[in-house]
Chain A
Amino acid sequence: MTSKNSSKEKSVGVVGMGSFGTAIANILAEKSKVIAYVRRTEVVDEINQMHTVDGEAINPEILGTQDPEYLCQSCNTIFFMVPSSAFQEVIRSFSPFLYPYHLIIHGTKGLCLNLPPGKTLEDMGKISRENILTMSEVIMKETVVVRVGCLAGPNLARELYLGQPAATVVASKYNEVILEGQRLLRTDKFQVYGNSDIVGVELSGVLKNIIAIAAGALAGLGLGENAKGLLISRGMVELVYLGNALGGSLKSFIGLAGIGDLVATCNSTLSRNYTVGYRLAQGEKLDDILDTMEEVAEGVNTIKLIKAFVEGTGMRAPITENLYKVLFEDLKIEEALQYLMKYPFSVDVDFL
């Protein structure tokens, strides 16, 4: 009943035009007609009249809209590129217009809480796996769409925007979603890999943000490459353990979305999470940092959730736990580092 206008080629939808959303919309526009959803009227006007977002030129073919219904009717495949804090709300506003024929791919590297009505994270203290939702789980919970995929990998928006070569992973339980992602995204400069472990790939992107904050902090302290090498490899171990506990598979963590993304973000001043760590180490307060950042650093929220999860399961995750103390309990970074150096890690690699 809803699928009559199928004869002509449909557009591809992009929801959210932050830096990553814009970069992806540009790549998509090379091959397809793109309709972009943004909330603010000024941005819609900017897209449609000036063909820019925040002053940066975008593909002039991209059409801006504020109307979820219009976007859903015009597109079979929709990319959701909104931060996790707004994800649930945005997806709910789209839900009435989404049907099972839609394919959704998201590019959000964060988690959502799923608590009993009326409870907050503070009330709960400890949480378990059911209380945490990855973005694909949010989509499955809030909409009728089942063919869901995610986009993850070392994709710093700025570099993509400049057209530098890069690769990404499209993960989905459904081959057709992976193929669709490849069909739409693949260009001479953008390679697209497939993975069927969607939760593992989502978690890779989510958990690496924790390590990125730590990497920024080390750099902010003026420490060198030895320290970074140490952090990345120990961070990887922590990522694998947490990721397994949350239902991802090891294979995904050592792939492009895991190690690939970890290395990219831990070395880049372009990364928001890295910047948070860096500025913390320079002595700034978290609130001040977050207030002056233009876009969300997902890692901060992730640390909060994962710390509660770690307490709920009785696991140990020393890097996450110490970062939590630094971020929210005024522990000095130097002290946290001291603690980590004394922590009895005895075995190098015990997860393979």
Chain B
Amino acid sequence: MADTYIKHQYEPILPKKDEWPVVKLSKNRKDFIRKVADASKKSVLEITAENIDLLREELETTLYREKLRMKQNPWAVDPDDEKEFWGKVKSTMVQLSADGSLTKTQKKKKYLEILDDITMRYSEEIASNFIHSHYKVTRRIVTFGFSRLLNAARVKGFKSIFSNQFSLQDKIQIVGETDQIRELASKGTIVMVPTHFSNLDSILIGWIISVLGLPPFIYGAGLNLFNISIFAYFMNALGAYKVDRRKKNLIYLETLKTYSSEALQFGVHSLFFPGGTRSRSGMIEKKLKLGLLSTAVEAQRANFERGEDDVSGKIFIVPVTINYHFVLEAPSLIQEHLALTGQERYYKESDEFSTSYKISKFLVKFFTKGSDISVSVGKALDVLGNYVDNDGNSIDRNGRKIDTKDYFLYNGKVTVDAQREEEYTYHLGKRIVEEFHKINRVFSSHLVAFTAFQMIKRENKKMDLYNLLRLPEEDVVLIYNEFKEECLKVLGKIKELEAESKVQIAPHMKMDIDSIIDHGLANVGMYHAKRPLVKNSMGNIETQDLNLLYYYHNRLHGYDLEKLF
């Protein structure tokens, strides 16, 4: 299974768009937003323990931060009536605290009204705006545009524009449990959790979801992307809801989580990038952001609470890894990572990849040269990290069917216990990381980068990472034969891991070692101005950029392969 790339177009599991959960949601948009606002209000009240002074404090903090944000960091996408709204909140708050004639109950009522206004406003802001016709157009543009480009590049001659010899699926290979995710998506609610290395990921995943015949998923996208109107169009079309990272106040965060949780309870499939942002270091995410993940646990419990005990109320977590030879943003990502971890020990250089010109150049290069991407879809898990079968039953380690509901029972009843759910979320996060490592696919480029960097590190044992990365690149040369030996050693260990199902290997790794190395050298970070690894005229191995080499090497971090050196 792992070896065969899936290369056919799947029938949509729900052919009529009216059956798509996301379409149903957008039809009920108004009611849904009201529901989210009310639920958020309730949870803010719970957090402030119904204490009016605490609530007032939260409101004041929110107001203060919002005023600060509007002054210091305004964006094009911000609504025009923002100043007016918060101005009104302010004057009401001032009046309230000055007015001595009100009783406590009256005051509380007033504060609740303010809270209600704010959660309502936030829910409106966050809510996605899925429009089916836009979705269709977008999907067509992506598929058509990409495959035209691809065919034009690979098949020579003018007519090739209309050739269908190569489809996008030759370029982007999908492997893994595709049948299971289709099966489960028609029965319950899916939460897809992919690794996140590049800004391309969200488009890529959107395309994969449609190739697999799944209805669109909703996902949280940074509000900054909506600043650019063309992006905003695409994002809305893909069912994105908006996440404003500038807003860190309790009320906003609660509303955001509530939105995700309510959407899951509504049955809308969702996509979380559980690492939060792109992996800066190039390593597979080790620590996940638990905020959004906790909404999956919460929604599952809420479904059980309502008595939705069958598979239709079940939430399935599907880990996905995206494997690249090349990550466009690698140079700036690794620099950010090093600057963050190394502090003064690391000097930052200028960022060379940021303009849209560079991005379009990359896209052309990507489709004209051969740098493949593979996407592995992992086995589905329940919210406690147990594997589930194709009927949606959770299965324990001994192959016994178990009921996920049991995890939420105390003395036979489903109970709400925030602390318990926090632990469960943490546990789920750990399970997802384990699954990421298992379904990660090793490419030739990862192998050569890892081996080369570890060899360089071994030769400079006394240096710490930051000194090592500052070595003059021209001083670093690896003798080809030694390099080959080490590559063989690492490959051997990776094959052992594969035999234990601890990692997957791309088919091109079945070639002989010289070919694997050549393939790896040709592909590793292939479009960077400075290449992480090259062969020199003597046939030995050199690097042009140690930071990049370190970045691509990190992909194999977490398998204890360092022990070989």
Contacts and interface: CB of A to CB of B under 8 A. Distances in A.
Interface string A3-20: 101110010000000000
Contacts of A173: 423
Interface in B448-478: none
A351 to B, nearest CB: 27
B419 A99 contact: no
A216 B398 CA distance: 44
Contacts of A176: 410, 415, 417, 419-420
B384 A146 contact: yes
Interface residues of A, number: 20
A1 B402 CA distance: 8
Interface residues of B, number: 25
A147 B407 CA distance: 9
A76 B384 CA distance: 19
Contacts of B397: 144
B412 A100 contact: no
A6 B406 contact: no
A101 B407 contact: yes
B402 A144 contact: yes
Interface in A73-103: 76, 95-96, 99-101
A76 B409 CA distance: 10
A10 B407 contact: no
Contacts, number: 60
Interface in B416-447: 417, 419-420, 423-424, 427
Contacts of B420: 147, 174-176
B413 interface: yes
B133 interface: no
B406 A2 contact: yes
A146 B411 CA distance: 15
B412 A96 contact: no
B417 A3 contact: no
A7 B412 contact: yes
Contacts of A5: 412
Contact of B412 (A76, A144, A174): A76
| Interface of B (DSSP majority class) | mixed
Nearest to A95: B398
A5 B427 CA distance: 29
Nearest to A102: B406
A99 B386 CA distance: 13
B403 A76 contact: no
Given A96-B400, A99-B403, A100-B406, A6 B411 contact: yes
B400 A100 contact: no
Contacts of B419: 174-176
B403 A146 contact: no
B396 interface: yes
A313 to B, nearest CB: 16
Contact of A99 (B402, B413, B423, B424): B402
Interface string A132-176: 000000000000101100000000000000000000000001111
B398 A96 contact: yes
A197 to B, nearest CB: 13
Interface string A170-203: 0001111000000000000000000000000000
A16 B315 CA distance: 39
Contacts of B412: 3, 5-7, 10, 76, 101
Contacts of A6: 409, 411-413
A133 to B, nearest CB: 15
Interface in A1-42: 1-3, 5-7, 10
A2 B409 CA distance: 11
B404 to A, nearest CB: 8
A175 B423 CA distance: 10
Closest 10 CB pairs of A and B: A6-B412, A100-B406, A101-B406, A101-B409, A100-B407, A144-B396, A175-B419, A99-B406, A173-B423, A1-B403
Given A2-B406, A96-B400, A101-B407, 16 more contacts: A3-B403, A3-B405, A10-B411, A76-B411, A76-B412, A99-B402, A100-B406, A101-B412, A144-B400, A144-B402, A146-B407, A146-B427, A176-B410, A176-B415, A176-B419, A176-B420
27 contacts: A2-B403, A3-B403, A3-B409, A3-B412, A5-B412, A6-B409, A6-B411, A10-B412, A76-B411, A95-B398, A96-B398, A96-B400, A100-B403, A101-B406, A101-B407, A144-B396, A144-B400, A144-B402, A146-B407, A146-B423, A147-B420, A174-B423, A175-B420, A176-B410, A176-B417, A176-B419, A176-B420
